[in-house]
Structure 1
Amino acid sequence: MERTVSEVARLAGISVRTLRHYDAIGLLPPGHVAPNGYRYYGRAELLRLQRILLLRELDVPLQAIGRILAQQDDEITALRDHREQLVQERRRLDAVIGSVDRTLESLSGDDSVGDDEFFAGLSAGRSRLQLDLTERFGPEVGASFEAAVRATDGWTREDYERMGDEGRRLLLRLSAARTRGVPPDSPEALELMELHYQGVYDLWQADATGYYRLGDVLVENADQRAMIATVDPDLPPWLSAAVKAYAVRKLGYR
């Protein structure tokens, strides 16, 4: 049975525009196009769309999805590979959630988290963030982050908890602004973001480009997004936009 673009979009929970984009870039051509220009999709196209949407759930870029699908013709093998990727992602997120929970317990005054566990979680989180930064922006940014970490050598647990308390207070102020409907590029938001930028700069001397790119990290890096979301689940995208606005308006990013 063949289905129209609108039928496939409704079944898959995506827009007609998305399907047309997939067709335009060669990722999901229709089974055939009628003389009147209507596109029709059969079972093979629906199975391919299923694979595409599974990979998109894993944040795989469209260009990479095209390469993956070109190498896998067997639906069962492809789906098994996708399942394994999902399992690995679940394990990674479980580890992230555990790390965030332990940090929250510590910052809330829970003495059950020992110093060894506290610093182990801190080290693991830093390692994940450095790897993410290096993969996104290259070894130079990763090295810059490592230098920032070295600047905190000798800090005690109390130092980190004090820094965490200051960061949380700022996030609460930013959340209050967002809740009141303050646009992330407004003068009020940019004034608050001056505090955020100074907090970042104290540890990492980020230039306009580095700070702008940090906006993506805050929503795309699972650790960073989860940490911000503990204060306000809707804050990460707002803060990301505010970071980018500050980089453009105040730091001269182009």
Structure 2
Amino acid sequence: MERTVSEVARLAGVSVRTLRHYDSIGLLPPGRVAQNGYRYYGRPELLRLQRILLLRELGVPLPTISRILDEQDDEVHALREHREQLLQERRRLDAVLGAVDRTIAGLSGDETVTDEEFFTGLSQARSRLREDLAERFGEAAAEGFEKAVRETDGWTRKDYDRMGDEGRRLLLRMGAARDRGVRPDSDEAFELIEQHYQGVLQLWPATPTTYYALGDLLVENADQRAIIEMVDRDLPEWLATGVRAYAVRRLGYVP
């Protein structure tokens, strides 16, 4: 049975943009491309995507994933190796998970988190975000993020607490708007999204293109999603939709 790119995206829980990117770099070409340009994926492509997502969960870079998959033909052997890697990764994550949780709690105003724990977790989260930005938008975008981070080198814990308070208040207002039935692509929502956009610009020189793509990151990046869900578990998708719509209608991005 063949599936379209949108069907595969829904099935695997990834974005259509991600699948198109995997195709463009030769990591996951479709089984066939119809005359009208539609991509179709069969069982071999779905199995390859499953292995790609397993390796991505392990933090393996895309070029390395391509090499691993091209060198391995035995599906069972490959999955057993993936399982062992997952066990090793689980042990590693157990070691850092506490610090990350405490950092998120710190950003949410938990004063029981020590400064050392806070900045350790913040550094780890920034490292993961930088890798995500590089993969999604290229090295130039990641370097822009690093430059913005350097400009906050002198920030104290109180500075981050102030930024966190402002972010939480904005997310609470967004959640309240969503509860009232405000559409994320409405003018009322855009008044809130504008504040989010300006906040992003303070930390990252986002272009209309990268701000549009930020919608995927807010949902798919575990750290960013967790920060939003600490305020409102149902808000990430609403905000992601609003970000994309704002980029198109207010920033002039053309999908």
Q: With structure 2 as the length reference, what TM-score do the two structures score?
A: 0.71
Tell me how many residue pairs correspond in the alignment.
220
Range 157-166 or range 145-154, more displaced: 145-154
Amino acid at match of 2:210: G
Distance 1:57 1:98, change over 3 A: same
Partner of 1:160: 160
- 3-state SS of the aligned residue for 1:154? coil
Q: Displacement of 1:140 after TM fit? A: 0.6
Range 228-237 or range 86-95, more displaced: 86-95
Distance 1:181 1:67 in 2: 47
Amino acid at match of 2:43: L
- 3-state SS of the aligned residue for 1:185? coil
Identical residues among aligned pairs (%): 63
Distance 2:77 2:153 in 1: 48
Contact 1:96 1:223 in 2 (8 A): no
- 3-state SS of the aligned residue for 1:152? coil
Distance 2:80 2:121 in 1: 32
Partner of 2:113: 113
Residues 1-254 of structure 1: matches in 2 within 5 Å? 25=40, 27-28=42-43, 53=50, 56=53, 71-87=71-87, 90=90, 94=94, 97-107=97-107, 110-254=110-254
Task: Please list the CA deviations of residues 123-169 of structure 1 after superposition, one character each: whole Å capped at 9, or x if unmatched.
Answer: 11111111111122111101100111111121110000110011011
- 3-state SS of the aligned residue for 2:43? coil
Question: For the pair shown, which has the larger CA radius of gyration, 1 or 2?
Answer: 1
Distance 2:167 2:245 in 1: 20
Distance 1:154 1:219, change over 3 A: same
Distance 1:107 1:200, change over 3 A: closer
Q: Displacement of 1:203 after TM fit? A: 2.5
Distance 1:152 1:120, change over 3 A: same
Q: Displacement of 1:108 after TM fit? A: 5.6
Partner of 1:18: none
Task: Please list the CA deviations of residues 157-206 of structure 1 after superposition, one character each: whole Å capped at 9, or x if unmatched.
Answer: 00001100110111111112222222211111111101111111122232
Amino acid at match of 2:221: N
Q: With structure 1 as the length reference, what TM-score do the two structures score?
A: 0.71
Q: Displacement of 1:67 after TM fit? A: 8.2
Gaps of 5+ in 1: 6-13, 16-21, 30-47
Distance 2:161 2:116 in 1: 15
Distance 1:58 1:235 in 2: 28
